[in-house]
Amino acid sequence: DIQMTQSPSTLSASVGDRVTITCRASQTINTWLAWYQQKPAKAPQLLIYKASNLEGGVPSRFSGSGSGTEFTLTISSLQPDDFATYYCQRYNSYPWTFGQGTKVEIK
């Protein structure tokens, strides 16, 4: 199975910081990658699909890039509402897999 490795596991940042989260696939997945945000006691929400496409209603400070095996999620200017856990997920073939998550904490 294709594994997804996210880094870092935890990230401490301040409001206004530029934040980058990386996701690496153990084999190429083209651009079949999504990013989700999850807040405590809430269901995850889709942010980015097909590696770089912003889901409707998601603020433009979120962006995604990459293809093949390396992908990034960038928050251009961190806002208070962005402190959450972020997951990448590949969906090129079954079984799908999620990264282990990156928790963005207040510095």
Q: Which residues lie near another protein (CB under 8 A)?
A: 1, 32, 34, 36, 38, 43-46, 49-50, 55, 87, 89, 91-92, 94-101
User: Which residue from 55, 17, 16, 18 is spatially nearest to 35, judged by alpha carbons?
Assistant: 55
Q: How far apart are CA 16 and CA 31, in angstroms?
A: 29
Q: At closest approach, how far in Å is the CB of 66 from another protein? A: 15
Residue 10 structure tokens: 């935890």
The least distance separating another protein from the CB of residue 42, rounded to whole angstroms, comes to 8
Which is closer to another protein, CB of 68 or CB of 101? Answer: 101
**Helix, strand or coil, per DSSP, at residue 3:** coil
Rank residues 14 and 43 by Cβ distance to another protein and give the closer one. Answer: 43
Question: What CA–CA distance (Å, rounded) separates 67 from 62?
Answer: 17
Q: Which residue's structure tokens are 């006691």? A: 41
Q: Given the complex with another protein, which of 15 and 59 has the nearer CB atom? A: 59
Q: Least distance in Å: CB of 77 to another protein? A: 25
